[in-house]
A and B are shown apart, each in its own frame.
Chain A
Amino acid sequence: AQKITQTQPGMFVQEKEAVTLDCTYDTSDQSYGLFWYKQPSSGEMIFLIYQGSYDEQNATEGRYSLNFQKARKSANLVISASQLGDSAMYFCAMREAYGQNFVFGPGTRLSVLP
């Protein structure tokens, strides 16, 4: 069963605008972590932001924030004030407390337009 769903294969956003990348997940665990990674064209995987299942506040890291809606099992990434350097693949991932494995979604390719 697909544990992480990213329904947007590709997204476009105008420079300086905000963009939301969708992520839904499936787990029966009560304790889990949600992560977002960025993969630019150079290929490396860059950790962006983390949200714990018990965290009541949405995580923020600079221009990145995670819109966590536990009841809906969604963990959307919001990028504010997009920059050209934000053009990349973005992966949502989950780590369940039991098993300790990381499961990744299929990714969303974001293109920032000048």
Chain B
Amino acid sequence: DAGVIQSPRHEVTEMGQEVTLRCKPISGHDYLFWYRQTMMRGLELLIYFNNNVPIDDSGMPEDRFSAKMPNASFSTLKIQPSEPRDSAVYFCASSRQGASGNTIYFGEGSWLTVV
């Protein structure tokens, strides 16, 4: 079975440009998470969806960040305009609904560098 698929794997962009990160969760998973990882702040939850509906976006840094999940098999995280401090690894992850034992599976991450 295919895992969580993220694209692009690596992106280098100039400050001020729009960045779009994409994610395809594991088929049948009801939850989708976006995390950001930096050396300074570790793993931070940005937003998560349940059945395509955003449940908690309190981790989204500011209005420059937005996330959508138009259907069960696709989600995007957009940064507009991007800033150097947005440089990080962005992980998408998914899990099934149900008991707390349903583990979360991560994509390989999107490594973003804003110069």
Q: Chain A contact residues: over half helix, strand or loop, or mixed? A: strand
Q: Contact between A102 and B50 (Cβ–Cβ < 8 Å)?
A: no
Distance of A61 from chain B, by nearest CB (Å): 12
Partner of A106, one of B31, B42, B45, B55: B42
Q: Which of A77-113 contact B (CB under 8 A)?
A: 91, 93, 95-97, 99-104, 106-107
How long is the Cα–Cα vector from A52 to B33 in the complex, in angstroms? 21
Distance of A111 from chain B, by nearest CB (Å): 17
Q: Chain B contact residues: over half helix, strand or loop, or mixed? A: strand
With known contacts A43-B109, A91-B43, A101–B100 Cβ distance under 8 A: no
Contacts of B48 in A (CB 8 A): 100-101
Total A-B pairs, Cβ < 8 A: 61
Q: Contact between A50 and B104 (Cβ–Cβ < 8 Å)?
A: no
Contacts of B56 in A (CB 8 A): 99, 101
Shortest Cβ distance from A43 into B: residue: B109
**Which size class do A's interface residues fall under?**
20 to 34
Seed contacts A37-B106, A107-B43; 7 additional CB < 8 Å A-B pairs: A44-B109, A45-B91, A45-B109, A47-B105, A52-B100, A96-B100, A100-B31
**Can you report 16 residue pairs joining A to B where beta carbons are below 8 Å apart?**
A33-B99, A35-B103, A37-B106, A43-B89, A44-B106, A45-B109, A47-B103, A47-B104, A50-B101, A93-B104, A100-B55, A100-B100, A101-B48, A102-B104, A104-B42, A106-B42
